[in-house]
Amino acid sequence: MRGLRARITGPSRRTHPAVAAVCGALRPKTSKAYEILHHGHVCGRTLTSMMTTENPTRLESQSDQQDVAAAVTSTSESKPPVLPRRITLRRLAIVTSSLALGLLTVTGAVTRDAEPEELEFWQVTPATYRDTFETSGTVSPLHTERVASDCRWTTRILSIVPEGTWVQEGDVVCELDGSEVEEFLREREVRLIRARAGLETSVQEELIQETTNERRISKAEFDLQDAEMELLEYESGTWPDQLAQVEGNVHLAEDRLTSAQDDFDYNEYLWVRGHTNSSSYRRASADLHEEDLAYRKLVGEQDLLTEFVHPRRSLQLNHRQRDAERDVIRTRIAASLAETRARLSTLSDERRVAIYERYVEYARKSLDACTLRAPRSGQVIYANSWYSKSRGQTAIEVGKSVKFQQGVFEIPDSDHFKVSVPLTEALISRIYNGMPAEVVLAGFEDEQIAGKVTHISRYPRMRSYYTPGVRDYWLDVTLMPTETQFELLRNQAKASVSLVLKEQPDALMVPRSAVAGLAGQFFVWRMDGEDLVVQPVELGDVQDDRVVVREGLQVGDRVAVNPPEQQKAALQRHLTGNSAS
C-alpha cells in the first residue's frame, strides 16, 4: 500500500550544528529566521526569497560580514558563537539567512537551483508471492475419435453423411468404392488355391524322399556291416584254418619224405652188400623222389599262400570295408541333399501360400474397411485441415480420392475439453502432471475456468522454421468448467492459461524502484524516525515490479520508492570510497 508523502531537501532532516549554534544564541529573539532554522524547515526557495525581495537586503557594512565569518568560524571549532553586542533584528535575519544558505550549500543538502522533491513511501506488509506463467493456446476436445481409411487401395468416396450430422455408435458414416479390391481378391484366391495344391505335392514328395533316403542309407550300412564281417571272418577263421592245413600237410610230407629217405638208405645198404636185388633199390629210389616232389609242392603252396594269396585277400577285404564306409557317407550326404531340396521346395510353396493368404487377408480387410462406421456417438466432422478449409479447399466429399490411412472424419468428445499450450524449455522442469491452472477464454475475461495439466510432451518441437534454435514443449490442460462456464466453451477458441510456478505466503515485498544495487549488494532507503537511512537487504524472487526481501526489513517499515538522484549519487560515493579503502 502506498505510504506517506514527505517533502525533504537532503539526506537527513537534522539541523546542522552551525545552524543550531546560531539558533541557540538567538533563542531570546522571537524572529521568523530563528523559527525556520530551529525547526529545520529550510529550503533553497525560502532562503532565496528572504535574501532577494523587491528591495534586496545586503550586509550593511564590512563589520557585518566579519561578524558572520566569526560566527561560522566559531561554529566549526565547536565553540559558542561570538556575536556582536549591538545588532538589529533586520541585520540578524540577513546574517542568519546567509549563514544557513552557505551551510546547506556546503553540506550538499541543497543547492541554489534545487527544487524541493517529494518522496513516495511504501509500507512493508506481508503478502502472498506468486510466480505465475501465462501463455495462450486453443480449446479442443479432450478426446477425438479420428476415423481413417484402412483400405490399402486408393479408392473414391461413394457416399458420406453430411458434416455436422449426429450419429450413434456403429452407424454407417461413409462408403468407399471397393470394386478394384474385389477384383484383386478374386484373382488372389485362385492363385492361393494353386499354391496350396503345389504345397501339398511338395509335402508328399518330401515324405517320399525321406523314405527313399532311409532305404538307401540302410542298404549302404548293410554292405558296410557285411564287408566288416567278411574281413573279420577271413582274418579270424578262414586264414588261420588254411594256414594250419597247409602247415600240417607240409609236416606230413616232411615225415613221409624222411621215411622214404630212410627206406632208400636201407635198400641202398642191402643192394650194395648184395642182400637185395636192384629192383627194390630202384623202387625205393622212386618212392624217395616222389615224396621229395610232394614235399616241395606243399612247401611251394605254403609259400604261395602266405606270401601272395593271404596278403591279396586281406587287401581286397579291407578295401571292400573302406569302400562300404565311404559308400555309407556318400549315401547319407546324397540323402541329406535330396531331403534339403525337397524341404526347400516345400518351404517355397509354403511361402507362396503365405503370401497369397496375406494378399487375400489384406484384400478382405480392405473390402470390409470400405464401410466406415462411427466409433462413438457424436457429431461428424470431416477431416479437412483448417488450412485447407480457410482457403475453400475440401479433400473429403463424394467422388474424392482417399488414400490408405488418410483421415475421413472425426467425432470429438463434446463433454470434455482441453487447451494445448506451448512452454519454453527453461520452465519445463517446474511443470508436473496434475498441476492446477486457470484458463480464461478470449472475450470472457471475467470467467476463470479451473483446469489441470494432464499431459506433457516428452520431446520439444521447433517453434518456427525461421527460429530453429527455439523449441517448445506442449502441455495439455484439461478444463473443469462449471455448468455455466461449459456453455462458453467452443472448439478452436482462443484461451489464456495461467500456471502458478511458485507461491510463498507472508512474503515481504517492495517495489523494484525502491532497491539500489552496487558491487553485488542491494540497499533501500528506510525511514528511521525522522531520518532517511540506508538499509542493506537480501533479495529473493522477482514478480513484475515487486521484489521479495528475505532479510533486512520488518513488517511496518517504510521505504522510499523513488529516492532522489542526489541520494543515489551520495550512496554510490560512499560505497565506492569504502571499497577503495
Task: Please tell me whether the overall predicted TM-score, pTM, comes out greater than 0.85 for this model.
Answer: no
Based on the fold, state whether residues 205 and 335 are members of the same structural domain. yes
Based on the fold, state whether residues 498 and 531 are members of the same structural domain. no
Based on the fold, state whether residues 56 and 200 are members of the same structural domain. no
Model confidence pLDDT, tens digit, residues 115-162: 555 678 888 888 888 888 899 999 989 888 999 999 999 999 999 999
Model confidence pLDDT, tens digit, residues 232-278: 999 998 999 998 999 999 999 999 999 999 988 888 888 888 877 88
Q: Is residue 239 part of a domain?
A: yes
pLDDT at 51 over 60: no
Cell numbers of 282, please?
Answer: 630202384
Nearest-CA neighbor of 4 among 546, 530, 571?
A: 530
Based on the fold, state whether residues 358 and 345 are members of the same structural domain. yes
Neighbouring C-alpha atoms within 13 Å toward the C-beta of 152: 13
- Domain extent for 526: 508-580
Model confidence pLDDT, tens digit, residues 512-561: 888 887 667 888 888 888 777 888 898 888 877 888 898 888 888 888 88
Q: Is residue 389 part of a domain?
A: yes
How many domains does the chain contain in total? 4
Rounded to whole angstroms, how far apart are CA atoms 175 and 172?
8
Based on the fold, state whether residues 561 and 445 are members of the same structural domain. no
pLDDT at 388 over 70: no
Rounded to whole angstroms, how far apart are CA atoms 438 and 170?
37
How close are the terminal C-alpha atoms of the chain, in Å? Answer: 40
> Residue 16 has what DSSP assignment?
P
Neighbours of 32 (CB within 10 A): 12
**Is there a contact between 33 and 97 (Cβ–Cβ < 8 Å)?**
yes
Q: Is residue 9 part of a domain?
A: no
Last residue of a domain, one of 477, 502, 527: 502
On the 0-12 / 13-18 / 19+ scale of CB atoms within 10 A, 317 is buried
Based on the fold, state whether residues 210 and 334 are members of the same structural domain. yes
**CA of 152: how far to CAs of 3, 359, 402, 422, 554, in Å?**
76, 11, 10, 36, 74
Last residue of a domain, one of 502, 536, 553: 502
Q: Is residue 4 part of a domain?
A: no
Based on the fold, state whether residues 264 and 408 are members of the same structural domain. no
Last residue of a domain, one of 442, 471, 502: 502
Q: Residue 354 belongs to a domain with what CATH number?
A: 1.10.287
Based on the fold, state whether residues 192 and 298 are members of the same structural domain. yes
The three-state secondary structure class of 548 is: strand
Model confidence pLDDT, tens digit, residues 235-245: 998 999 998 99
Beta-carbon contacts of residue 69 (< 8 Å; ≥ 6 apart): none
Based on the fold, state whether residues 397 and 484 are members of the same structural domain. yes
Residue with cell 556575536: 83
Based on the fold, state whether residues 209 and 352 are members of the same structural domain. yes
Spell out where 94-187 has E strands: 117-123, 126-141, 144-148, 155-160, 166-167, 172-176
Cell numbers of 294, please?
Answer: 610232394
Nearest-CA neighbor of 456 among 424, 438, 432?
A: 432
Q: Is residue 2 part of a domain?
A: no
Residue with cell 495461467: 498
Based on the fold, state whether residues 197 and 291 are members of the same structural domain. yes
Burial call 52-80: b when 16+ CB within 10 Å, e when fewer: eeeeeeeeeeeebeebbeebbebbeeeee
